[in-house]
Each structure stands twice: as C-alpha cells, then as structure tokens.
Amino acid sequence: MKFQTILLAIFGVVAVVAVVIFSVVPVKNSSKNQGTVGAVGGVTIWGTFPSTRELLKVFEIFNAGYKDSFAVNYEFHDPAVFDNDIVEALASGRGPDILLLPDDLVLRHSDKIELISYQSVPQVVFQSNFIQAAEIYMRDKGLIALPFAIDPMVMYWNRDLFNNASLTEPPRYWDELLTMTPKLTKRDPQTSDIVQSAVSFGEYENVLFAKDILAMLFLQVGNPLVAVQDGKPYSKIVTSNGKENVPAQNIVSAFRFYMDFSNPQKPNYTWGRARQNSRDEFINGNLAIYFDYASAYKPIQEKNPHLNFAVAQVPLPRGTNAEITFTKVYGLSVLKSSRNKQTAFVAVQHLLTDPLPERSFASAFDLPPVIRSYLAQPPTDSALAVFYDAAIRGRTWLDPKPEVSNKAFRRMVESVASGRNDVSIAIAILHGDMVAALAPYQ
C-alpha cells in the first residue's frame, strides 16, 4: 500500500499538473524531466495497433528522451487473440507491464489492473481534459486506464453513386436515408437480384462491425445497453412495466430500423445475404453508404485509388438531444502483475503528458487525439476534420466480453432475418444473453 501511495503520488502530481498545462506551455522531452524519479529499466506495452514504421518511430523518439532512465517496448498482438494472449501470459507469469486496453476489454480485465486513484487524477481533471468516451475507464474508486487513442465510427459515401442518383449530399438524419434508399438501390433487370445497395444494414455475417453499428443506434436513442449500480454492471436492454420486464421501446425501434433494410417486404429493402462483405462492396463501388472506423480511410484508398468517396458524420435520429457516434477507445493500463510498476506508471504519465507521443501516435494511424484541447484545433484536411468531430461525439458501452456479446448480437439479428423471431422477442433473448454474460461481474 505504501508503495502504491508513493507511486501514484509521483504519477498523480506530475500527470495532473502536466495535463492541465502542457497544451499551453511546451515542455522539452528530456531524461532530466521531473517525474522520472525511481524509473529504471524497461517496460513492455501490449497493444493491437500494428507495429508500423511510424509507430516504432514514435517509441524510438520517446525512448531517446529518457535513455538515461527507462525505455518502453511496444509489442503488437492480433486483436482476434489479444484477450486470450493476456489470459495465457498472466497465467504463466510472463505478461507485459502495460496494456493498451480497448474499451471492450475493460470489464474482462479490470481485476488485473492497478487502479489510478482519484486523489492522483481527480475526476474533474480527467473529464475536462479527455474525450467523453474515455469515461468508460472510470470506476468508483479510480481509473482503469488513461486514454491514449480513439478510433471513431464515421460514414463513408460513394460520391459517384450519389451523383448518379441526383443526390447532392449524404443523409444527416436516419429518416433521410429511408427516402434515399430506393434511389441508391439497383437490381439486375434479368434476375431482379440487387447489384447496388444503398446501405449494408439488416444482416450480420456480411456486415463488418454489425454489433458496433447496432450499439451505435441503441446509444443514439439513449440506451446505454449496460449500466452500473453500486459497482455492478447490469443490462438496460429491457425495462419494467410494473408487472414484467419488456424490451425497451427505444431499442425495439432502432433494431427494427436496422432490420428493415434486409426485409424484401419493405420499400427500403437493399441488402441481403447474397451480398459480399460490406467493405468489399464499398471498395468495389457497389455500396453507396458504408459505416466503418476512421482507421479504415487509408486502407480503402489503398485498395481502390480510383474510388470517388468521402467521409461524413454518421446520421442521427431527428430531434436528438445528443449527437452521438460509436467509437473505439484505447487506454494505457498498468497491470498488477508488473514487476516494474513504478517505471510503468512513469512511462504512462510521460506518454500522455509530453507534447509529442500521444499526438504522434494518433498521426501514425491518421486518427484524432484523445485530448480535448487538441481537438479544439481542427485540421485543414477534410477527412481528418470529420474524424476530430466524431471523436468529440464518440461514445461506447460496457461490453461484458467481445466474444460472447458478438455471438449474442449475431443470434439476435439472424433470428429476425430468418423469420424465427420478431424484433421484440429477439431483443428479449439478447437481454438474457447479456444478463448471463454480466453474471461473473456481479
């Protein structure tokens, strides 16, 4: 306890002061900087961002400034197996010191992480300096992580397909998408098969990030999916009518909206299982509107340099009080099992409060920063300006376990698409699946 108190005091004093002033007063990166007392040796960060040349350069420059004190090593892990890698490594006693923890693994690994107390980083300082999506890391007694990267969801749209349909701009509201869909949908005159789709909604298997798109729709209508009371998470997917629990009406409406685009009986039918993967359809020029993360912008360009596309904010429910998009957020967490905790905390503090690391990391992947003062200075690049705005609007949810929730959302969508269940029953089943998934955290 004494070690933790001293450690967090070192981290907290420097971090709080730096977070408040570093955007105004430049600080030279030097091994003689205050806040490195007791930091020695090397620490390792595990993350799911590829070890690109640009990323390695970020850590190379950072380490050069602290070569007389400590060094940080970054190790890439495939997102598909990151969760399993963490569990196996900690079980064998060979885990990293720091995790670049994605928001959907917060609940899963919170018991393995050293909390940063609010005495070290007060809640008001945290909330006023970092994007709102980062509040997923807040707990009653402290912080699970400090945000380091954000990847917001945006709307990609094919300008040629819009021009061909005499449409001048993408939809700002979801009801506008309904009127656009027939104009952006084309069928083969011989077979009546859909050969051009307006949007990739209504299925799961061939819709990249279907779970995240649905979560976005639910968040936009004011349902957080999972809430926390007395430190325990519980499902918000149903509400009580006084006699029994029933699916929340806002979620029913949002889910029905999503599913109608794959329903042949609906006028906005535009997508089906016969279509390819949604990203491939967009890259090939056969999909007018595609929802993906900011990090997809460059890969889409590289796959089809001739594709005439642009990015915009995701549509909103008309009359909404909060303009929300979905986002992925990644935070730096120090593991309880670290053999060099003091250096790990010092490294995290400087990665966030030095002038370059966080911004350089974001720049390496064409992403917006997580710090509000940086977001207040939008770039001139049109796509990046959209990403900055989306970062401010970004929200996420407390996913119990990605592998489990993915199966639950798939089950919900496919049961409606196949006609086995209606929308309300499918949502009730999703609630049951979420209750079971959240049970280990009660």
Closest by CA to 107, choosing from 342, 396, 398, is 398
Give the model's confidence band at 245: pLDDT under 50 very low, under 70 low, under 90 confident, else very high.
confident
The residue-averaged pLDDT of 9-24 equals 40
Q: How many CB atoms lie within 10 A of CB 304?
A: 13
| Spatial separation of the C-alpha atoms in residues 262 and 5, rounded to whole Å | 56
Q: Any idea which of 243-247, 257-261, 288-292, 322-326 has the lowest mean pLDDT?
A: 243-247
* Six token digits for residue 249: 């009406």
- Of 4 and 40, the one with more pLDDT: 40
Could you write out the three-class secondary structure of the chain?
CHHHHHHHHHHHHHHHHHHHHCCCCCCCCCCCCCCCCCCCEEEEEEECCCCCHHHHHHHHHHHHHCCCCEEEEEEECCCCCHHHHHHHHHHCCCCCCEEEEEHHHHHHHHHHECCEECCCCCHHHHHHHECHHHHHHECCCEECCEEEEEEEEEEEEEHHHHHHCCCCCCCCEHHHHHHHHHHHCEECCCCCCEEEEEECCCCCCCCCCHHHHHHHHHHHCCCCCEEEECCEEEECCEEECCCCEEECHHHHHHHHHHHHCCCCCCCCCCCCCCCCCHHHHHHCCCEEEEEEEHHHHHHHHHHCCCCCEEEECCCECCCCCCCCEEEEEEEEEEECCCCCHHHHHHHHHHHHHCCCHHHHHHHHCCCCCCEHHHHCCCCCCHHHHHHHHHHHHEECCCCCCHHHHHHHHHHHHHHHHCCCCCHHHHHHHHHHHHHHHHHHHC
Q: Any idea which of 26-40, 79-93, 392-406, 424-438 has the lowest mean pLDDT?
A: 26-40
Q: Any idea which of 246-250, 287-291, 409-413 has the lowest mean pLDDT?
A: 246-250
| Spatial separation of the C-alpha atoms in residues 96 and 5, rounded to whole Å | 22
* Average pLDDT value over all residues in the chain: 91
What pLDDT is stored for residue 321 in this prediction?
87
Q: What is the dihedral of CA 303, 210, 223, 436, to 10 degrees?
A: -140
What pLDDT is stored for residue 37 in this prediction?
76
Closest by CA to 109, choosing from 78, 75, 144, 74, is 144
* Six token digits for residue 142: 């402290």
What pLDDT is stored for residue 27 in this prediction?
35
320 contact partners, CB below 8 Å, separation of at least 6: 220
286 contact partners, CB below 8 Å, separation of at least 6: 195, 196, 197
Residue for token pair 């009518």 = 241
Paired strand residues for 138: 143
What pLDDT is stored for residue 34 in this prediction?
54
What pLDDT is stored for residue 63 in this prediction?
97
**pLDDT at 7 > cutoff 70:** no
* Six token digits for residue 127: 């909330």
Closest by CA to 347, choosing from 114, 70, 154, 118, is 70
Give the model's confidence band at 242: pLDDT under 50 very low, under 70 low, under 90 confident, else very high.
low
The residue-averaged pLDDT of 377-391 equals 96
Residue for token pair 């796509």 = 383
% pLDDT > 90, the chain: 86
Which domains does the chain show, CATH number per domain? 2-151+326-393 (3.40.190.10), 208-260+400-442 (no CATH)
Phi (first) and psi of residue 334, to 5 degrees: -95, 125
What pLDDT is stored for residue 12 in this prediction?
46
The residue-averaged pLDDT of 350-368 equals 94
What pLDDT is stored for residue 181 in this prediction?
98
Residue 133's alpha-carbon distances to 104, 148, 371, in angstroms, are 12, 12, 11
For residue range 22-75, what is the model confidence (pLDDT) as tens digits? 332 233 344 345 567 779 999 999 999 999 999 999 999 999 999 999 999 999
What pLDDT is stored for residue 38 in this prediction?
78
Q: How many CB atoms lie within 10 A of CB 28?
A: 9
What pLDDT is stored for residue 35 in this prediction?
63
The residue-averaged pLDDT of 249-253 equals 94
What pLDDT is stored for residue 195 in this prediction?
97
